[in-house]
Amino acid sequence: MSLSGKAAITGIGETDYVRGSTKSAFRLQVEASLKAIEDAGLTPKDIDGIIPIGITGAPAEEFVTNFGIGDLRYSAVTPLGGASGIAAVQSAAAAIAAGICNHVLIPSGRNVSAGARAGVRIHQMPQFHLVTEYEYPLGAIAPAQLYAPMARRHMELYGTRSRQFAEVAVAMREHAILHGNAVMKKPITIEDHQSSRMIADPFRLLDCSLESDGGAALVVSAAERAGDMRQAKVVVAGIAEGHPDSPSSITQRAEMTRLGIAKAAPRAFAMAGVTPADIQVAEIYDCFTYIVICQLEDMGFCGKGEGGAFVENGRLKLGGALPTNTHGGLLSQAHMLGMNHIVELVRQLRGQGGATQVEGARLGLATGYGDLGDGAIAIMQRV
Amino acid sequence: MSTSEKPRPHETEESRPYWRGAERGALMIQRCAHCGKLRHYPRLVCDNCHSLESDWVEASRRGTLHSWTVAHHAFHPGFAQDVPYVLATIDLEEGVRALGILDAPADGKLAPGAAVTGRFERRGDGVSVLHFFLARQGPRLVKGDDQC
Ligand SMILES: [Zn+2]
C-alpha cells in the first residue's frame, strides 16, 4: 500500500514570530494549534492523534488535558531534530491510512529567549552522546562547528564558494521581508554577507539561522474527508524520511557531503510519481545556507557538487526557476524547526501565499534536516 | 576562573580505554575481537559481524586532513581564550577518522590530503586531548576557489 494521496494537511496555524516573547513555549504551541484546528473547521475535541515536535514540545497528555480530548487514539514522537515535522506528517499519514485515527495534531513551539538555545543543548541530548564524549571536550560545541566541516569539504572538492552561500541568504531575506511575519526585516546584500563576521569557518553570521520564539501547528486528516472540510485540498503525494550513514557522528561519516535526504528523496519522488523538474515551489530546511545547497543536490535538482552554481542568478528567488523558502525560512523568518516550512508550503498550494505567492503553484515540496544529518521530504499537491 | 573551565569527557565503560590511553599519549582504537574490524568511536557492537567482543590496538597517529573548521566564535566560555582554533577531521592510516585540534595558523592555507601527525596534549585541567600537526604540505585533491 502506498501512502500517496491518503492524507491531507487540512489545518495550518502559526503565531507571530518574534524575539523575546513573554509567552511560554506551551502557550505558543497551544495558540498555533487552536489556529490550525479552526483553520481545518474542526474543534479541539475532534483531535484524536497528537505528535508533539521537538525537545520543547509538550507531551500529548498536556493537549488532552487542556483540550478535553476524550479518546486520543494515537500519539507518537519523531525524534529527527529539524526533520521531525515531516517525519511526523509521515507517521500521521500512516496512522490515518491504517484507520487508527482521523485527525492528527502536530504542534510545535519554542521560546528560546527563555532558555533552550540550540547551541548549548547538544551535550544534553542522548543521540549526540558520541559527539559529547569525543568532540565536545575539544571545543566542537555548537551545530555551526559540527556542520562546518561538511561545507568545507564540499568547497574543497567542488569549488563551492562563500558567495554562493550568500545567494541563499539574500534570497531568504528578500522573501521574509515580503512575507511580513518574519523576525528579520532589514534587506541584505551579497556584500553584507561577505562582510558579516566569521562564526565557524566557512560559516559567517549570515550563513546561520535565527534563534526565535513562536509556534506552528498542522492538522493532518484523511484525504477522503478533506474535500468536505474548510480549505482547499492539499494532499501528501510523496513522503519519506532518511537517515545518513554514521548518524551519530559526522566525523566518522564516509561521505560527509551526503545527507539522509539523499536516501529519502528517491522514495518520495517515486511515491508521488513526479520528478524535481515538476516542483513549482520548495520550502527547504535552511539551518545554514550550505545545507540548502547540499539538499538540492541530494534531492536530484542538480548533480553532486553543482549546488553552488545552481543557486546563482536568483534561481531560488520569487520569479526564479525554483522559488524557495517563500516565507524566509529559518535564516530570515524564524527557527520553528521546519514546521514553518510545512505551513508555508500548504499556504502556497492553497493560493494563500499573499505577497510571496508563487503564481499557480499546485505541486511543491518541503524538507527537514536535523540532528547530525537526518532528513525528510514531503511532496504535496493541490487536488 | 570557574566560568572558563572546559568541558570534560564523560567516561563510560566503553570509552575508558580510550581516555586511559590518552593519558599516556597513546591513541587507542577499538577492534572487533571476532572479525578484526576497527571502529571509532568506541561502541558496544561490531557493525560488520555483530560480535560484542572487542579489544584495543594502538594507532599510528599518522593521517591526512579530510576537512576542518576554524572556530572564531566561542560557543562555550571555556574556549573564549582559544579562538580562533582549528578543528580538523583526520583520515587515520588505520582507516578510521579522528577529530583533533590542528595546531596550524587559523588563517593559513589548508588542503585536504595534507599529512598530519597526532599527539595528546595535557590541558591545565588534566584532560589529555588529541592535537594534530602538519607534517608536510600534502597534495590538493581538487583545486577549489575558496578565496571568498
Ligand atoms: Zn566484527
Model pLDDT, residue B51: 98
Q: Is the pLDDT of residue B142 over 70?
A: no
What is B60-148's CATH topology? Answer: OB fold (Dihydrolipoamide Acetyltransferase, E2P) (2.40.50)
Q: Is B87 on the interface with A (CB under 8 A)?
A: yes
Model pLDDT, residue A52: 97
Q: Is B73 on the interface with A (CB under 8 A)?
A: yes
Contact yes or no for A140/B99 (Cβ under 8 A): yes
Q: How does residue A1 score in pLDDT terms, banded at 50, 70 and 90?
A: confident
Tell me whether strands B128-136 and B97-102 are parallel, antiparallel or unpaired.
Answer: parallel
Contact B111 A156 (CB under 8 A): yes
Q: ipTM of this predicted complex?
A: 0.94
In chain A, alpha helices (H): 25-39, 60-67, 84-97, 129-134, 143-158, 162-179, 190-195, 223-226, 261-272, 289-299, 307-310, 339-350
Q: Is the pLDDT of residue A119 over 50?
A: no
Contacts with B127 from chain A: Cβ below 8 Å: 137
CA A154 to chain centre: 22
How far away, in angstroms, is B52 Cα from ligand 1 center? 8
- The percentage of residues in chain A with a pLDDT greater than 70, rounded to a whole number, is 98
CA A358 to chain centre: 19
Average pLDDT over residues A328-342: 96
Q: How does residue B147 score in pLDDT terms, banded at 50, 70 and 90?
A: very low
- The percentage of residues in chain A with a pLDDT greater than 90, rounded to a whole number, is 92
Model pLDDT, residue B105: 84
Domain boundaries defined on chain B: 11-58, 60-148
B2 CA: distance to closest CA in chain A (Å): 16
Q: Is the pLDDT of residue B1 over 50?
A: no
Pick from B23, B87, B107, B125 the residue to mutate for testing the A interface (most A CBs within 10 Å).
B87
How far away, in angstroms, is B9 Cα from ligand 1 center? 26
Q: Can you tell me the distance from the alpha carbon of A20 to that of A279, in angstroms, rounded to the nearest whole number?
A: 36
Q: Can you tell me the distance from the alpha carbon of B76 to that of A222, in angstroms, rounded to the nearest whole number?
A: 47
Q: How does residue B108 score in pLDDT terms, banded at 50, 70 and 90?
A: confident
Q: Rounded mean pLDDT of chain A?
A: 95
Average pLDDT over residues B93-111: 92
Q: Is the pLDDT of residue B141 over 50?
A: no
Q: Is the pLDDT of residue B148 over 80?
A: no
Q: How does residue A289 score in pLDDT terms, banded at 50, 70 and 90?
A: very high
Q: What are phi and psi of A29, to 5 degrees?
A: -65, -40
Model pLDDT, residue A323: 98
Q: How does residue A227 score in pLDDT terms, banded at 50, 70 and 90?
A: confident
How far away, in angstroms, is B53 Cα from ligand 1 center? 8
Average pLDDT over residues A14-42: 96
Model pLDDT, residue B136: 65
Q: Is the pLDDT of residue A143 over 70?
A: yes
Average pLDDT over residues A212-227: 95
Q: What is the DSSP string of A77-133?
A: ----GGGHHHHHHHHHHHHHHTTS-SEEEEEEEE-GGGS--GGG-GGG-GGGHHHHH
What pTM was computed for the model? 0.95
Contact A252 B72 (CB under 8 A): no
CATH architecture group of domain A7-116+209-382: 3-Layer(aba) Sandwich (3.40)
Model pLDDT, residue B137: 47
Q: Dig out the grid coordinates for B62 from the structure.
A: 599518522
pLDDT tens, residue by residue, A363-379: 999 999 998 999 999 99
Q: Is the pLDDT of residue B144 over 50?
A: no
Model pLDDT, residue A56: 80
Q: Is B6 on the interface with A (CB under 8 A)?
A: yes
Chain B from 29 to 68: CB within 8 A of any A CB: 40-41, 43, 66-68
Q: Is the pLDDT of residue A67 over 70?
A: yes
Model pLDDT, residue B63: 98
B105 CA: distance to closest CA in chain A (Å): 13
Q: Is B80 on the interface with A (CB under 8 A)?
A: no
Model pLDDT, residue A121: 66
B60 CA: distance to closest CA in chain A (Å): 18
Contact A252 B96 (CB under 8 A): yes
pLDDT tens, residue by residue, B27-79: 999 999 999 999 999 999 999 999 999 999 999 999 999 999 999 999 999 99
Average pLDDT over residues A142-161: 97
Q: Which residues, 6+ apart, have CB-to-CB distance to A370 below 8 Å?
A: A80, A81, A82, A83, A84, A285, A337, A338
State whether residue A375 is helix, strand or coil. strand
Q: Rounded mean pLDDT of chain B?
A: 90
Q: How does residue A115 score in pLDDT terms, banded at 50, 70 and 90?
A: low
Q: How does residue B83 score in pLDDT terms, banded at 50, 70 and 90?
A: very high
